[in-house]
């Protein structure tokens, strides 16, 4: 089961590039507030959803919040999910998983 905060985040879509986010502070605040509501650990299913929200850059640190939530999943690393994208953040997660980082 995916918690409501994560479902709402998924509805917002991937994190925007920082320059675009700076122009829409309301949306940026929505991401931040929702991320702050999510307690660890997340389920494997939730982690997969959160991985899909990683955008092209760190978006004022919000991408790091996603990374740490994803890595809290009990089935981490989610090998199948890590192979689905060449997003820079997914590459970072693959690297961290190969080194045993959490």
How many residues does the structure list for the chain? 102
Q: Where are the domains of the chain?
A: 4-98
Query: What is the SS3 string spanning the chain?
Result: CCCHHHHHHHHHCCCCCHHHHHHCHHHHHHHHHHHHHCCCCCCHHHHHHHHCCCCCCCHHHHHHHHHHHHCCCCCCCCHHHHCCCCCHHHHHHHHHHHCCCC
Q: What is residue 101's predicted lDDT score, i.e. its pLDDT?
A: 62
Residue 102: pLDDT over 60 = no
This prediction's pTM: 0.91
Q: What is residue 24's predicted lDDT score, i.e. its pLDDT?
A: 79
Specify the higher pLDDT residue, 83 or 67.
Answer: 67
pLDDT tens-digit series, residues 68-83: 999 999 999 998 888 8
pLDDT tens-digit series, residues 22-52: 777 888 899 999 999 999 999 999 999 999 9
- Name the percent of the chain lying above pLDDT 90: 73
- Residue whose structure tokens are 């693959």: 94
Do the Cβ atoms of 44 and 37 come closer than 8 Å?
Answer: no
């Amino acid at each position: 089961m995916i918690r409501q905060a994560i479902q709402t985040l998924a509805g917002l879509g991937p994190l925007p590039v920082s320059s675009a986010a700076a122009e829409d502070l309301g949306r940026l605040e929505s991401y931040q507030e929702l991320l702050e509501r999510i307690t660890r650990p997340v389920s494997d299913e939730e982690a997969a959803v959160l991985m899909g929200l990683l955008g092209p850059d760190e978006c004022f640190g919000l991408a790091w919040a996603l990374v740490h939530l994803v890595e809290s999943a009990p089935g981490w690393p989610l090998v199948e999910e890590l192979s689905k994208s060449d997003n820079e953040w997914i590459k970072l997660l693959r690297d961290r998983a190969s080194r045993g980082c959490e």
